Amino acid sequence: MRDRLLPLLALAGAAFCYVATETMPIGILTLVSGDLGVTPAAVGLLITGYAVTVAVVTIPLTYAARNVSRRRLMVGLLAVLVLANLVSAVAGSYAVLLGARLLGSLSQAIFWAVVAPVVTAMFDVAVRGRVNAVVFAGASLGPMLGVPAGTWIGQLYGWRAAFLALTVLALAAFAALAVSMPTVEIRAGHAATGTRPDRRRFAVLVAVTTLSVAGLYASFTYTEVFLTGVTGFAAAALAPLLLARGVADFAGIAAGGWASDRWQRGSVTGSTAVLAAALIALWVVAESRPFTAVLMAVTGFGIGALTPALQNRVLEVAPGSTDMASAVNSVAFNVGIAAGSLIGAAVLDGPGARATALAGGLLTLAALALFLAEPLFVRRTPEVVRR
């Protein structure tokens, strides 16, 4: 078991690099804009285009890579990530930078589809939730630490240095994985298919993922407007509040991974309920700074706990290969982000910023209701899993 710790940590490091790479332009937007002579909106498209590409190509690329050795695939994906960040660091034009970003997004699309089955195959099924939580913890640190660090480096040494630092980190993860990752035969082990395959349960789970993520992002996308315009926080308070939320997210991932190995359905139900309750409570007490600060952290904890719980459930009920099931769930996650942001924008232009929390809460509440109603949509067969 201990010989699998280094590759697990390397994959968590890779997850950090992928998320930090995707979100890095947020903190260096004006620096890139000024240097390359493009508008800030064009730099923003570096993030939008990245996310859209991931959503569009995840399923076809995962299917195309289904017969590739998992060790070779994971090492190759990290090599592409290193190259993408290196090209970003030396890009002399916006077109080259955009191309490098799209190259990175192709690598990320496959990574998130296959990493959970790969990690699951490396360990006993009894710790599936916890080992996947380690990878998600790395991803959680991406926006929490990666973006602020990249912003700081960019301000001191230029935006190219931020991408160069990501190149070094990705290279370290690549090297660690290349020397330590064992040969993983997913098709021959317990990670090949769902432990309790069920198409209808999986369909319900995909819908739950989309609704719950949409609920979060209907509110979270407009956090700055909510906190400054409704609650009355000063702009200087945003960074500490978001950091506290990120720490709570990290704690939620640890709790969700542990709980999902013991009470699989209960972990999804509980974390969705926490997220829904926190969002609706934010709408109720929006003008109270102390309560809002606490509830912001609770939303982080809720989505953090929900993420590994949903992934563990995917690996339980996947009707076909776990790779393709994870790919579908990844697409559902990205669709949820896009849909939630659009819904939040419509609410922001209508009832206003305060109502984004209510809209998010109602969407998440719908996800909870759907998950609780799952038995109505499936065949009456006993489900012998940890509740």
pLDDT at 41 over 60: yes
Residue 27 within a domain:
yes
Q: What is the pLDDT of residues 364-386, one digit of tens each?
A: 999 999 999 998 877 654 544 44
What's the confidence (pLDDT) of residue 385?
45
Residue 139 within a domain:
yes
76 and 203 belong to one structural domain: no
Residue 385 within a domain:
no
What's the confidence (pLDDT) of residue 187?
53
300 and 275 belong to one structural domain: yes
Residue 384 within a domain:
no
Domain extent, residue 268, equals: 199-377
- With beta carbons less than 8 A apart as the criterion, state whether 356 and 347 touch: yes
Count structural domains, the chain: 2
Is pLDDT larger for residue 145 or for residue 82?
Answer: 82
Domain boundary among 139, 169, 188: 188
Residue corresponding to tokens 């993860």: 173
173 and 26 belong to one structural domain: yes
Domain boundary among 145, 169, 188: 188
The residue among 323, 338, 310 whose CA lies nearest residue 59 is: 323
CA-based R_g, the chain, Å: 20
Q: Give me the CATH number covering residue 113.
A: 1.20.1250.20
179 and 285 belong to one structural domain: no
Domain boundary among 155, 188, 221: 188
170 and 216 belong to one structural domain: no
173 and 272 belong to one structural domain: no
Q: What are phi and psi of 193, to 5 degrees?
A: -135, 170
Residue 193 within a domain:
no
pLDDT at 250 over 90: no
